[in-house]
């Protein structure tokens, strides 16, 4: 496991804080109303993300997005300096409890931000509940995290697996697709996303001809692609992400299926992957809570700043990291940077209204985003909005007992 500790607090910033402290008592005895906490220890944020494996780029972009937001606030949120500790979770559920305990126990972080993989996230949620550690999930869609496992100190700045896929059912039916095959990795996120799509599609009147799956994170798609060619469905709905999504879309096109059986999916199939997929992704339609060409001021600021910092185009993962920092800022602003007033901080976070690059972002009683879900199509290397598949889509938070 790679584990590193880095502090973004520059010498300049430290000098500034010392200078500010010296200024608080001038010759006339005047005191500036500096928040006491601004002079205290930094808030320690533990990143538990995949920095290796098929989701490595996703983890890096979440990390970059979060740090970028904090840097743009001068290294502090709500007057409180922020420092980071990071752990590579490798998208391995079997190591997740140890990794989380390491952050909470040994590193004594104030809150944890993570992760990408739903199975890993479920273990994190359990530790966060057992140890009363605040957690912001910047990707993993495991429905339970904001369902039966919900808690007032657990938040998500991404989506639930249900939320991004259920709206696609009606979209595909309305586009005339009647017999659809599904394909995914056999793990929590895969089955939940496929179930959500099927819920929307069969309710609209569609028929599922076959569900295909392979173990996470395998990428030997050939036999399943051959099966799709034999089944000849009207269309395919897929969930893959990261390196696996790149390979699936390329293999699908190499088999010539992109010309005969239209490919649809959860937006992760083509987000952060288009450079590697090239023309093979053209025409793929997906639903997601973000699109490259969303024309709002927050998205323009975000895309420009992300490009300037990393030299790369921002994507949904970077947006989710950026918004995780924006959400934490709401909590720290409400308490003048005092994280010991946690209940006030987390309740301010629950009622936050964030002007996100994705559009308006608020939270339901379970801490899951309420947000637009867009229908996008890949055109010239970009995920472009075609329509809003669902306005202010909420998650049902099935099984969550936290009251509003
Ligand atoms: C998940 O496991 O919840 C997951 C992973 C990668 C994605 C989306 C969801 O892009």
The pLDDT tens digits for 172-195 are 999 999 999 999 999 999 999 999
**Which protein residue's CA is at the shortest distance from atom 9 of ligand 1?**
140
Mean of the pLDDT values across residues 197-226? 98
CA 153 – ligand 1 centroid, Å: 21
Task: Just give the CATH number of 2-159+295-371.
Answer: 3.40.50.2300
Predicted local confidence at residue 402, as pLDDT: 83
Within 84-217, where are the H helices?
A: 93-101, 118-131, 161-174, 188-204
* Count of Cβ atoms closer than 10 Å to residue 244 Cβ: 23
Mean predicted lDDT score pLDDT of the chain:
91
Same fold: 2-159+295-371 with 162-288: yes
Q: pLDDT class for 20, splitting at 50, 70, 90?
A: very low
Q: Which of 354, 350, 370 is nearest to 296 (CA)?
A: 354
Beta strands in 123-256 (DSSP E): 135-137, 154-156, 179-186, 207-215, 235-239
Predicted local confidence at residue 14, as pLDDT: 30
CA 5 – ligand 1 centroid, Å: 25
302 burial (CB, 10 Å; 0-12 / 13-18 / 19+) is buried
**Which protein residue's CA is at the shortest distance from atom 5 of ligand 1?**
117
The atom of ligand 1 lying closest to the CA of 141 is: 3
Does residue 30 carry a pLDDT above 50? no
Angstrom CA distances, 371 to 145, 200, 368, stand at 17, 18, 9
CA 388 – ligand 1 centroid, Å: 22
275 phi and psi angles, rounded to 5 deg: -60, -40
* Residue 156: both structure tokens together: 């998500």
Q: pLDDT class for 24, splitting at 50, 70, 90?
A: very low
Query: What would the DSSP string read from start to end of 371-389?
Result: EEEEEEEEETTEEEEEEEE
Mean of the pLDDT values across residues 139-146? 98
Does residue 289 carry a pLDDT above 50? yes
Task: Assess contact for 141 and 159: CB atoms under 8 A.
Answer: yes
Predicted local confidence at residue 40, as pLDDT: 78
Predicted local confidence at residue 404, as pLDDT: 72
Pocket of ligand 1 (CB under 6 A): 58, 116-118, 139-142, 189, 241, 268
CA 118 – ligand 1 centroid, Å: 6
Does residue 16 carry a pLDDT above 50? no
Whole-number Å distance between alpha carbons of 227 and 352? 47
* Residue 112: both structure tokens together: 């944890």
Does residue 351 carry a pLDDT above 80? yes
The residue ranges of every structural domain in the chain are: 2-159+295-371, 162-288
- Contacting residues for 269 by C-beta, under 8 A, at least 6 apart: 238, 239, 240, 241, 245, 248, 249, 263, 284, 286
The atom of ligand 1 lying closest to the CA of 241 is: 10
The atom of ligand 1 lying closest to the CA of 268 is: 10
Task: Assess contact for 378 and 246: CB atoms under 8 A.
Answer: no
Q: pLDDT class for 11, splitting at 50, 70, 90?
A: very low
CA 248 – ligand 1 centroid, Å: 15
Query: What would the DSSP string read from start to end of 74-107?
Result: TTEETTEEEEEEEEE-TT-HHHHHHHHHIIIIIS
Mean of the pLDDT values across residues 227-242? 98
Mean of the pLDDT values across residues 93-120? 98
**N-term to C-term CA, the chain:** 39
Does residue 3 carry a pLDDT above 80? no
Task: Assess contact for 191 and 119: CB atoms under 8 A.
Answer: no
CA 337 – ligand 1 centroid, Å: 32
Does residue 215 carry a pLDDT above 90? yes
**Which protein residue's CA is at the shortest distance from atom 7 of ligand 1?**
241
Predicted local confidence at residue 4, as pLDDT: 55
Report the SS3 class of residue 392.
Answer: strand
Does residue 35 carry a pLDDT above 80? no
Class of the domain covering 162-288: alpha beta
* Residue 20: both structure tokens together: 């500010």
State what percent of residues in the chain have pLDDT above 90.
89
Mean of the pLDDT values across residues 157-170? 98
Whole-number Å distance between alpha carbons of 51 and 56? 4
* Count of Cβ atoms closer than 10 Å to residue 22 Cβ: 9
CA 187 – ligand 1 centroid, Å: 10
pLDDT tens digits, residue range 39-98? 479 999 999 999 999 999 999 999 999 999 999 999 999 999 999 999 999 999 999 999
The atom of ligand 1 lying closest to the CA of 245 is: 10
Q: pLDDT class for 22, splitting at 50, 70, 90?
A: very low
Mean of the pLDDT values across residues 95-106? 98
Does residue 12 carry a pLDDT above 70? no
């Amino acid at each position: 496991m790679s584990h590193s500790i880095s502090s973004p607090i520059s010498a300049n910033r430290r000098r500034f804080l010392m200078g500010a402290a010296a200024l608080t008592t001038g010759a006339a005895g005047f005191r500036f109303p500096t928040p006491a906490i601004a002079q205290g220890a930094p808030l320690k944020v533990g990143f538990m993300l995949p920095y290796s494996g098929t989701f490595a780029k996703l983890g890096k972009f979440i990390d970059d997005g979060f740090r970028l937001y904090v840097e743009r606030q001068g290294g502090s949120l709500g007057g409180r300096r922020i420092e980071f500790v990071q752990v590579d979770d490798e998208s391995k559920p079997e190591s997740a409890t140890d990794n989380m305990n390491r952050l909470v126990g040994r590193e004594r972080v104030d809150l944890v931000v993570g992760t990408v993989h739903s199975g890993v996230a479920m273990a994190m949620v359990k530790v966060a509940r057992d140890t009363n550690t605040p957690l912001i999930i910047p990707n993993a869609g495991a429905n339970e995290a904001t369902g039966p496992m919900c808690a007032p100190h657990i938040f998500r700045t991404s989506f639930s697996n249900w939320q991004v896929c259920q709206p696609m059912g009606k979209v595909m039916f309305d586009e005339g697709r009647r017999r659809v095959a599904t394909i995914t990795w056999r793990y929590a996120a895969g089955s939940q996303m496929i179930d959500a799509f099927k819920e929307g599609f069969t309710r609209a009147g569609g028929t599922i001809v076959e569900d295909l799956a392979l173990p996470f994170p395998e990428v030997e798609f050939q036999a399943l692609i051959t099966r799709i060619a034999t089944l000849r469905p009207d269309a395919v709905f897929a969930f893959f992400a990261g390196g696996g999504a790149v390979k699936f879309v390329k293999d699908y096109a190499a088999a010539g299926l992109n010309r005969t059986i239209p490919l649809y999916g959860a937006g992760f199939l083509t987000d952060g992957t288009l450079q590697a997929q090239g023309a093979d992704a053209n025409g793929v339609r997906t639903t997601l809570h973000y699109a490259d060409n969303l024309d709002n001021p927050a998205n323009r600021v975000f895309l420009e700043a992300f490009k300037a910092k990393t030299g790369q185009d921002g994507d949904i993962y970077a947006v989710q990291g950026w918004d995780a920092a924006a959400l934490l800022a709401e909590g720290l602003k409400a308490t003048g940077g005092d994280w010991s007033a946690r209940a006030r901080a987390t309740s301010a976070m629950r009622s936050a209204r964030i002007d996100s690059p994705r559009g308006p972002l608020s939270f339901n009683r379970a801490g899951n985003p309420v947000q637009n879900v867009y229908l996008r199509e890949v055109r010239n290397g970009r995920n472009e909005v075609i329509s809003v598949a669902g306005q202010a889509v909420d998650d049902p938070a099935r099984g969550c007992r936290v009251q509003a």
